[in-house]
A and B are shown apart, each in its own frame.
Chain A
Amino acid sequence: MKVILHDLDRQYDNMLESRCDRLITADGKYAPCQGCFGCWTKHPAECFMNDKLRQICRVIGQADEMVIITRNVYGEYSPEVKNVLDRSIGTSTPFSTYRGHQMHHTLRYGKHPLWKVIVYGEISEEEKETFRYRAQRNAVNDGYETSEVLFISDLKKLEALV
């Protein structure tokens, strides 16, 4: 299953929807993660907050190809996209293991092939480097075999990249 998570205007929804099995629009109309670990310990793979991200980890967890389209914010995802990722830690279990020579949680949905990030907006060379590093870290953390980061200055080029 190919999942696209994006923070673009609604005008891109139709085009993106035709390119994936599941589209997640990060519009910011949901609450931030409260760090309670309830999605591990109380109601597995489900958030206690009853908004549209309540079961988002079940969607992201089943992605073979995860594509994230985000504007650059200090070499980090936009707050809207990051909010969705913060609320999706139920893709893993509370048990710990070693991956990439570091401690991580075991994966609820197993391994996946590709974590792809498309970054738009003004960005420095240092921020690009941070984004590549971050995507690598995310891929290891979430059990993706490879990560790929693309930077685009013109959103007209987006259609050819997703």
Chain B
Amino acid sequence: MKTVFINCSPKKRFSASSYFLSLQRLFVGGTKVTETLRTPADHNRILEQLKDTDAVVFCLPLYVDGIPSHVLRFMLVMETFCRQNDLHFYLYCIANNGFIEGKQNEPLMHSFEHFCRRAGLSWGGGIGIGGGVMLNVTRILFAVDIAILILNTVLSVLNTGNFFPKDAWISFGENAALLLYFNLGVLFYMIRMGSAISSHKFFGKKYTRILIPSFVFIIFADIFFIIASLFEGGLFRGWLAKKTV
């Protein structure tokens, strides 16, 4: 069994789509191929992979309540290709958006369903994820936690000869558990969708989010953009002004 994962993020590195793609891969059996879709130059390479696949998983960000334009361009080419080659594999979708409500991905899901109907493919369903950017940050925080644990262990060995600094491990465990909790909704549905992908079954449309209260999320999102705008200079260039042409 072969599954092709298509990372549709236009970003080269550290995209939320690549994070969710990596997670979903863990729960799918058989041969797994990962492709990136950023420009039309990627089209033919991806289409070649579709000829003998059993399932395709699109991982993409939500843009203006819908599918990013570069993905729509590919879907039109893919529709023709699938019809010409009489392909009928299962298609699944993992969409993420920056707002906290995963339900905001619903119009995108509908369009993928319509695409499958026109291309003659089997619509398998998908997961709509809210707070995608912040969930992506949790993997960076986890890497930072590991680095701090290693540093504390090295310092402990040098200072006292103790290879197991208990306090550092407790702190690491607490942080890791918190980050895991934020991702629980996503992991729950990815395990279930992974099972559906592996057994070629319909999964349906499911919506989830980062597991923190909405009003807390908004505060963190605002802080994130204030800091980003401070460092990138936008804060000093009419950050909220009504700019004219």
Contact = CB atoms under 8 A, between A and B. Distances in A.
Contacts of A77: 66
A35 B64 contact: no
Contacts of B232: 38, 41-42
Q: What band does the interface of chain A fall in when counting residues whose beta carbon is under 8 Å from B?
A: 35 or more
B115 A74 contact: yes
B63 A76 contact: no
Given A94-B229, A103-B214, A137 B63 contact: no
Interface stretch (A9-17, A79-87, A151-159): A79-87
17 contacts: A33-B69, A41-B229, A42-B232, A61-B242, A74-B67, A75-B107, A79-B69, A82-B68, A82-B72, A90-B243, A93-B239, A103-B99, A126-B114, A130-B107, A130-B114, A134-B107, A141-B64
Interface in B85-137: 99-101, 103-104, 106-107, 110-115, 117-118
B75 interface: yes
Interface in A27-57: 32-38, 40-46, 55
10 closest Cβ pairs, A-B complex: A94-B225, A83-B69, A45-B243, A42-B232, A74-B114, A79-B72, A82-B69, A103-B99, A32-B70, A41-B229
Contacts of A110: 242
Most buried by B among A58, A73, A90: A73
Interface of B: 9-11, 15, 61, 63-70, 72-73, 75-76, 99-101, 103-104, 106-107, 110-115, 117-118, 214, 217-218, 221-222, 225, 228-229, 232-234, 237-245
A108 interface: yes
A95 B222 contact: yes
A130 B111 contact: yes
A34 B114 CA distance: 26
B20 to A, nearest CB: 15
A74 B111 contact: yes
A43 B72 contact: no
A18 interface: no
B99 A34 contact: no
B111 A103 contact: no
Given A77-B66, A94-B229, A103-B100, A35 B10 contact: yes
Contacts of B99: 96, 102-104
A59 interface: yes
A79 B234 contact: no
Nearest to A34: B10
Nearest to A127: B114
A85 B234 contact: no
A97 B99 CA distance: 10
A80 B72 CA distance: 9
Contacts of A33: 10, 63, 68-69
